[in-house]
Amino acid sequence: MARIEQKVRDLVAADAEMEGVIQTVLDRAEDGEVKWVDVRDDLSSGQWGRLIEKGVLIDGDAGFRLADAEATRDALDTESGAVADIDTGTDSDDESSWSMWDKGAAVFSIALFAGYSWAPMRNVIGSAMNVVLGPLESTLPFYAVVMILAVVTGLYSTILQANLMDSEKMGEYQEQMKKIQEKRKEAKERGDDEALERIQDEQMDAMGDQLGMFKEQFRPMVWIMFLTIPVFLWMYWGVGIRGADAVFDLQPLILPLVGERAWTDGVVGPIQVWIVWYFLCSMGFTQIIRKGLNIDISPTGT
C-alpha cells in the first residue's frame, strides 16, 4: 500500500487529467468502494482501466475499492502543490530566461578570454582601452589607477548582481533542497525505504531547480565579465606580460608582509603583484559599496 502514493503521482505526471479523474473516484467512493456506474459519466473507460491496471483500484465486495484511500488523497494534495511549484518555476524561468543580449554578452565574454594568450587581440583591446584610460594612467600613479578601476568594477558588479539575480528565488531553491535533506534524514532514522525512494525521486526532480539556480547566479557574471575583461586586458597589456615591454612607466609597489615588488613579480606562485593589488582593492571597496548602498545579494527565503 505504501507504493500507492507514488503510483498516483506517476499517473498524474503522465496525464494531468488523471488528477481530476482520481479526485472524482475519491468523491464518489462510499466506504472506500466505487462502481463503474457511479463514475462513467465523468470518466472514460480507458481512464478507469488505468486506475485498475496501476493498482489504485482493486477488487472489492460490490465493485472496486481504493487500495489505499488515504495515500491516494495525500498523493493528490502533494501533486497539486508540485504542479503549482512547477508552474511558478516555468513562469520564473520565462522571466529570467536569457535574452538575446545576455547570450551575445556570454559569447563575446568567452571570446575575450583569447586575449590573455593571443598577443594581437590583447594589443588591439589594450590600445582601444588606452584611449579612455590612458589619460588617467598618465595623471596618477598606477597603483591609484588600479584602485579607481577596482571601485568602478566593484560598483557595477554589485549593481548588476542586485538587478539581474533574484535573491528571493535563490532562497526558495535553497529552502527546497534543505527540506528534502531534512526529509531524507528523518526517513533514514525511521528506516523507511519506501519514503527514501520517493525522496530520491524528489531530488531528481529538483535537479531542474538546481539548473535554474545556476542560471540565476551566472547571468550577472556574464555582464560583469563583459565589462571587466577588457579592463584586465588593458592592465595585462600595459604592465608588459610574457616578455613584452611595459607600456606604462611603473614604479615598484610596496605590499604588506611582502615588501617592495615589481608589478610583474610573482607573489603567490605565478600570481603577480598587479593581480594581487587589484583583488585586494576590489574586495575591500566592493564590501564598502554594498554596505553604503545597503545591497545584499545573498539568497533570501520567503
Q: Are 121 and 114 in contact (CB under 8 A)?
A: yes
* C-alpha span between 265 and 241 (Å, rounded): 11
Structural domain spans, the chain: 4-79, 99-293
pLDDT of residue 235: 93
**Alpha carbon distance 182, 132 (integer Å):** 54
Per-residue pLDDT reduced to its tens digit, 233-252: 999 999 887 667 778 888 88
Mean pLDDT of 107-128: 90
**Predicted pLDDT of residue 243:** 62
Q: Domain 4-79 adopts which CATH fold?
A: Arc Repressor Mutant, subunit A (1.10.10)
Higher pLDDT, 29 or 151: 151
Residue 152 and residue 7: Cα distance in Å, rounded? 56
User: Closest Cα to residue 89, out of 267, 187, 237, 216?
Assistant: 216
pLDDT per residue as tens digits for the range 20-51: 888 888 888 887 788 888 888 888 877 888 88
Q: Output the CA torsion 192→196→198→203 (10° steps).
A: 160
Higher pLDDT, 54 or 81: 54
At residue 104, the 3 state secondary structure works out as helix
* CA 264/CA 30 separation, integer angstroms: 83
| Amino acid at position 162, single letter | A
Q: How far apart are the first and last CA of the chain?
A: 35
Tell me the Cα Rg of the chain: 30
Which pLDDT belongs to residue 223? 93
- Given a contact cutoff of 8 angstroms between Cβ atoms, the answer to whether 232 and 112 are in contact is no
Convert the pLDDT of each residue in 172-221 to its tens digit. 777 777 888 888 888 888 787 777 777 777 777 667 666 767 777 788 99
Angle of CA points 51, 206, 23, to nearest 5°: 25
Beta pairing partners, 64: 34, 59
How far is residue 46 from each of residues 18, 36, 54, measured CA to CA in Å? 11, 12, 12
Supply the DSSP string of 123-141, one letter for each residue.
HHHHHHHHHHHHHHHHHS-
Query: Which pTM does this prediction carry?
Result: 0.59
